[in-house]
Structure formats: structure tokens, C-alpha cells
Amino acid sequence: MKITQSPKNFSKFLSYVLRHHPGSIGITLDVQGWTEISTLISQAAKHGKRFKLEDLHEAVRISDKQRFAISENGLRIRANQGHSVAVDLALPVTVPPDVLYHGTASRFIASIMKDGLRPGSRHHVHLSATTTTARTVGARHGTPVILQVMAKDMHEDGIQFFVSANGVWLCDSVLPKYLIRMNNDH
């Protein structure tokens, strides 16, 4: 049976169960966030979400942000980042570029410039390597504003960075002193 929802809704379902609520369909994630694909498919079917292995592979392949990864042996799947459940993605500490970017909505700027960037319900703050990606992220929540993150300075001050399988840069938080609001024409 083909997936009955749109690819976007299917991606939202996968994000929901692989990042936030695996127990909602009776699956568990291992320490690094992986779950068996066969279990995901059977448990999803028991909860009214029927799809085939081919559908899952297609959803992973076409995910605009490459949110998911399938293990090398093809038996397991996980979200690449953005978890609110306890996982350790076992990402190596990585030296960041001099500058990274964070896209947000204009309504959050005053708070961010006062308190910095915090992960909220997630494990890490998500940063982008390009202004284009940051603008896209910020636009999801309203009028986008791009913040330049002085990643080199943070790194030199001992702050660790990680990069997920889909190229999202991660860190624990960003203090206001490392943030510069960019003009909208950048």
C-alpha cells in the first residue's frame, strides 16, 4: 500500500517519531537515535500509518533538508539532528568555519540579542553554513532575520561544535557577544 499522506506529511510523521515521540507508535531509539526499519514499518502500520520500505527510502532521499539517515547496512534509520529525546549522535567535535549563521523570525530578535541562542527543547542550537539556508529557516517562523555567529571566536574560547550528517552545525548555546544581526540585503 502506498503512503496515504503527502511526502511533507510523511516527513513530519518521521520527524515526530524519530526526533520527539518514538513511544507514540511503540518504537524505541537506541543511544545514538537508531531504530530498526522493520520495527518502524510494522509499528507505524499498527497505528494507521502504512508504508513500504521503498516509500521510506524515497522519503529519505527526497527530504529537502536530509533530516534522516539510513544505516550503512540498510536496516536502521534515525533523524540526523533536532531530537528532543535523549540521544547521543556520536558526532565528532569539529572545527567550525570562521562564521556560521542562524535564521530566526524578527519577533525573536530582542530576546536573542539579550539572552543568546539556546536549544530550547532540542539538544543543540542549529546553525547554517550559508545565509541562504539561514534565511529559509527564519522564514518558516515569520519575517526572517539572519544572525552572523562568530564561530571562530567561540571555538577559540573553548566552545565545541559538531556537524550533523546533513550539514547542520550544532553547539550547546551561543552567547549574545558572538552574535551580529545582519542587514536584510545580505
pLDDT score of 155: 98
* Whether the Cβ atoms of residue 11 and residue 67 lie closer than 8 Å to each other: yes
Q: Within the chain, which residue ranges are assigned CATH 1.10.10.970?
A: 7-79
Fold of 100-181: ADP-ribosylation fold (3.20.170)
Residues 128-185 pLDDT 10s = 999 999 999 899 888 999 999 999 999 999 999 999 888 899 999 999 999 999 976 4
Name the CATH topology of 7-79.
Answer: Arc Repressor Mutant, subunit A (1.10.10)
The CA distance from 65 to 152, in Å, is: 25
- Give residue-wise pLDDT tens across range 39-67: 999 999 999 999 999 989 988 888 777 88
CA dist., res. 78 & res. 1, Å (int):
23
Single-letter residue type at 54: E
What integer pLDDT is reported at residue 6 of this predicted model?
A: 67
Closest among 76, 75, 78 to 15, alpha carbons compared: 78
Q: Where in the chain is the domain with CATH 3.20.170.30?
A: 100-181
pLDDT band at residue 91 using 50, 70 and 90 as cut-offs: confident
